[in-house]
Structure 1
């Protein structure tokens, strides 16, 4: 196997410490880098904690790269749902002399109050070596760094979660309908933060010679527009300035037209054997599979993580996602090391306000929830809803 320059740098840097983070963008080969890093140690047992949907793909990768250390792969979701599995893993690790715990897609443990996070940290305490892998650059997830660094070692940051937030995050608290909400304004003291974690973090960007092209395909919502407007009007009449209601209702509005027949006609003119289609809803997926049975159809929830699809060079985004990170992950399924062609992304855009709102948020790398909280804090919630 031949490592890239960034992969070699990562192995060289993190082999000097027993805990570390590979914050390498999707497509830069972080799995192979992790394997090479593991091979520099004397570990006699490796535990890979990954999203359940990526277990099979990781297993294939380990076979592909002739990984020879004793190992076990467990879905991070299983840790919170199965006491028996958790106790079995503790038993396995207690018998190892130099255990190594690797957490892939480590944002899955960003909620410090979740059972999965607690158990992952506890398993990490039983290991001599600990490594986290994440495809999102650290500058996008400052607040999420604390639980990840705490997994590696509490000695890295040497501060509680609240101390971390007060040191590096500027945020505003506001109260609406009897509930307190927080809105992050910006980050500060980042040079200090980076200086603390620098010895334990390798951050790599993807640099390919291949070009990326984004194409917007407009369509009119005709057969499903009545469903959309009914949900929208009901939302306006019962609006309570509640983030949860906002997300629920906008999801329902988008699903109302997800299988608009005109969308299928547009897609039929775009696809070929080199095309992957990403959608958001099961309803969309079933419609697409029926219409295009020989085309690979994936949802953002499962298909945007862990898959290597560099044999394809086109993606059709059938439904828009509310989360720019999901779109970025999906794009990197085909734009990654090993891609031999230029790639094209087709974004289907309907003629309703919600579609424009999603596009603006994606462009500004803001989630729908963040956009709502900002509008609510500025007393522009009604204005935001009117744009739908």
Structure 2
């Protein structure tokens, strides 16, 4: 197997270490890089922890690259649901002297209080080698990095979570509401100096063009949207976070299959007849699009963003917006990746309501829609939405 320049550089940097992070953008070949790092080690067993839906994809990669070392692949979600599996893996790790533990899509362990995170941290503490893989290691702010670095080794940051937060984040805590609002990040150069020796960060550079086009459409019927919006604004003062998110989902779902949007998709597919992927958020949208456009591949965010190599497709239409930057970038990298030989086009459908503009703002700033709304007064929200 021939490695790219970036892949070889990653191996050269990390092969002499027992811990490391491959923050390589989707499409740059981080799986093959990880396998070469493992093969360069003295590991006697490998434990791969991956998103459940990508288990078969990894198995196919291991077969493709003729990986010979003994290994086991488990889904990260399974560690939350099965005590038996957790104890079984603990026993297996302890049985080997030099376990090599690999956590793919390590952003999934960003929540330090989640059961799966705590169990992965414990398994990691017993493993001789530890490696994390992610194309987007930060989805919201640099707090996402703490558990990832702590998994590799507490000696990297040498600070507990609260100390890390105080060192790198400007925030304000509201004890009466039990909420923390994160305002800004600082001391980033210092943070980088701490993690840089253990991290390889590769950017995807392909000799093909990438077109990003915002496509605006008019929503033909906004009655349901306006009704949900009115209820939302009325209840806003005493609203909990979970209720807030439910309202935004309802508003977006109200126009997910609007006739104005469907006409827009029809025209795009007519003008761009090449193989196309449609990304959406909701099951009803997915079912409708599959029936109406059998020539296209229809995927949902989350499951559809991980582990698939779809270089046969040239175009991607984002039918519904996502306010998760990491999901959006993962989706794009399904076709804009190593092995793609054709120019690619990304079309972002944008309806003429305020919620769509707010989602775009969150993506540009890489913040959550919940945080953006918390920063606004009720009057401002009424004008925005």
TM-score bucket (shorter structure)? over 0.9
Give the direction of change, closer, same or farther, for the CA distance of 1:386–1:372 in structure 2 (3 Å limit): same
Could you tell me how far 1:139 is from its partner in structure 2? 9.8
Match of 1:90 in 2: 90
Could you tell me how far 1:219 is from its partner in structure 2? 2.1
- Tell me how far apart the structure 2 counterparts of residues 369 and 352 of structure 1 sit (CA, whole Å): 18
- Tell me how far apart the structure 1 counterparts of residues 254 and 179 of structure 2 sit (CA, whole Å): 29
Match of 2:355 in 1: 354
Give the direction of change, closer, same or farther, for the CA distance of 1:294–1:383 in structure 2 (3 Å limit): same
Could you tell me how far 1:12 is from its partner in structure 2? 0.7
Match of 2:227 in 1: 230
> Is the 8 Å Cα contact of residues 236 and 378 (structure 2) preserved in structure 1?
no
Match of 1:61 in 2: 61
Could you tell me how far 1:113 is from its partner in structure 2? 0.8
Residues 1-388 of structure 1 mapped to structure 2, 5 A cutoff: 1-136=1-136, 141-174=141-174, 178-223=176-221, 225-240=222-237, 242-271=240-269, 272-375=273-376, 380-388=377-385
Aligned length in residues: 381
Secondary structure in 1 aligned to 2:278? strand
Give the direction of change, closer, same or farther, for the CA distance of 1:140–1:226 in structure 2 (3 Å limit): closer
Could you tell me how far 1:141 is from its partner in structure 2? 4.2
- Tell me how far apart the structure 1 counterparts of residues 372 and 12 of structure 2 sit (CA, whole Å): 41
Give the direction of change, closer, same or farther, for the CA distance of 1:256–1:282 in structure 2 (3 Å limit): same
> Is the 8 Å Cα contact of residues 109 and 117 (structure 1) preserved in structure 2?
yes
- Tell me how far apart the structure 1 counterparts of residues 262 and 109 of structure 2 sit (CA, whole Å): 38
Could you tell me how far 1:8 is from its partner in structure 2? 0.7
> Is the 8 Å Cα contact of residues 372 and 381 (structure 1) preserved in structure 2?
no
> Is the 8 Å Cα contact of residues 243 and 373 (structure 1) preserved in structure 2?
no
State the Cα deviation string for residues 104-149 of structure 1 (Å, max 9, x = none): 0111111111110111011112211100011115697421111111
State the Cα deviation string for residues 192-249 of structure 1 (Å, max 9, x = none): 22222222111111112211112222222224x2211111111122222543332211
- Output the aligned Cα RMSD: 1.7
Give the direction of change, closer, same or farther, for the CA distance of 1:160–1:35 in structure 2 (3 Å limit): same
TM-score normalised to structure 1 length = 0.94
**Structure 1: gaps of 5 or more residues:** none
Secondary structure in 2 aligned to 1:239? helix
Give the direction of change, closer, same or farther, for the CA distance of 1:385–1:36 in structure 2 (3 Å limit): farther
**Structure 2: gaps of 5 or more residues:** none
- Tell me how far apart the structure 2 counterparts of residues 354 and 150 of structure 1 sit (CA, whole Å): 37
- Tell me how far apart the structure 1 counterparts of residues 213 and 188 of structure 2 sit (CA, whole Å): 36
Secondary structure in 2 aligned to 1:179? coil
- Tell me how far apart the structure 1 counterparts of residues 165 and 234 of structure 2 sit (CA, whole Å): 37
Name whichever of 243-252 and 80-89 sits farther off. 243-252
TM-score normalised to structure 2 length = 0.94
State the Cα deviation string for residues 286-344 of structure 1 (Å, max 9, x = none): 11111112321100111111211122111000101122221111111111111111111
Could you tell me how far 1:184 is from its partner in structure 2? 2.1
> Is the 8 Å Cα contact of residues 140 and 366 (structure 2) preserved in structure 1?
no
- Tell me how far apart the structure 1 counterparts of residues 290 and 183 of structure 2 sit (CA, whole Å): 42
- Tell me how far apart the structure 2 counterparts of residues 139 and 76 of structure 1 sit (CA, whole Å): 18
- Tell me how far apart the structure 1 counterparts of residues 107 and 26 of structure 2 sit (CA, whole Å): 14
> Is the 8 Å Cα contact of residues 140 and 367 (structure 2) preserved in structure 1?
no
> Is the 8 Å Cα contact of residues 137 and 203 (structure 1) preserved in structure 2?
no
